[in-house]
Structure 1
């Protein structure tokens, strides 16, 4: 008789959940980075802003080899940031709405804590369950 052992992956370090509450400080919207925009997101944001698709693309996006990205301002902040507020928050892209549950931030407790030094909403607010986190994780 052959017995097969199935190795189970160890539980992720955040299996008990993580606390996060967006306080809309805008810190995650400043500094270098790329925000990819899908065609569906492009349409939704243009509609939210009351702009035609062409005007939205011309004014707010850059075309890259693999699609469109939001422009940055000269100070490296997102073009959608006014002061500390995202002007498209209710219609923001998945990349933005899934923050801070990105694979590279969830990679380790140290990565999470490093991001927490930048984001005051990390480790405060409601407890997100492991299942909720996994459903929002951007890879």
Structure 2
């Protein structure tokens, strides 16, 4: 890959680094419905068992190792039903609009291609979010990292 912006900006290596941290994964209503159906339980049962409420928002629990409750054997046990915030990584608002944030993310995410320009990363990220309906919705339960103006990013 060359430094002129060609190449894939991100290719997941399944390292699990994005599954770790105490910041928490905020679940919006769509995430709650998708995960509870995947687990074969009601939304209420799912929330009671797998989340904790912080700031009036449900967050997925993390273990003592600081990994998501669904991170098992180096993989996501609910990958096909994972939350939108997980589906969107690394194309979060901060990484898309701020080159420094994007550079910092490269320090712990081996799937980020540092040979791709930030402009190209942003173009690919905005396209991915748009094509996968990950940034078009808004609302008080929507994670801040997914509140992205896709159209303005694609114009740049």
Q: What TM-score do you get using the length of structure 2 for normalisation?
A: 0.67
Which protein has the bigger strand share?
Answer: 1
Alignment match, 1:3? none
Give 1:47 shift.
1.1
Alignment match, 1:12? none
Highest CA radius of gyration, 1 or 2?
1
Indicate the RMSD between aligned Cα atoms, in angstroms.
2.8
Structure 2: how far apart are the matches of 1:106 and 1:53?
Answer: 32
Alignment match, 2:85? 95
Deviating above 3 A after TM superposition, structure 1's stretches of 4 or more consecutive aligned residues are: 15-18
Q: Which segment drifts farther, 44-53 or 92-101?
A: 44-53
Q: What TM-score do you get using the length of structure 1 for normalisation?
A: 0.74
From the superposition, tell whether residues 109 and 17 of structure 1 become closer, same or farther in structure 2 (CA, over 3 Å): farther
Which protein has the bigger helix share?
Answer: 2
2:80 is paired with a residue whose SS is helix
Structure 2: how far apart are the matches of 1:65 and 1:109?
Answer: 29
Alignment match, 1:117? 107
User: 5+ residue gaps in structure 2?
Assistant: 115-119, 136-145, 148-156
Greater RCO (Cα-Cα under 8 Å, separation 6 or more): 1
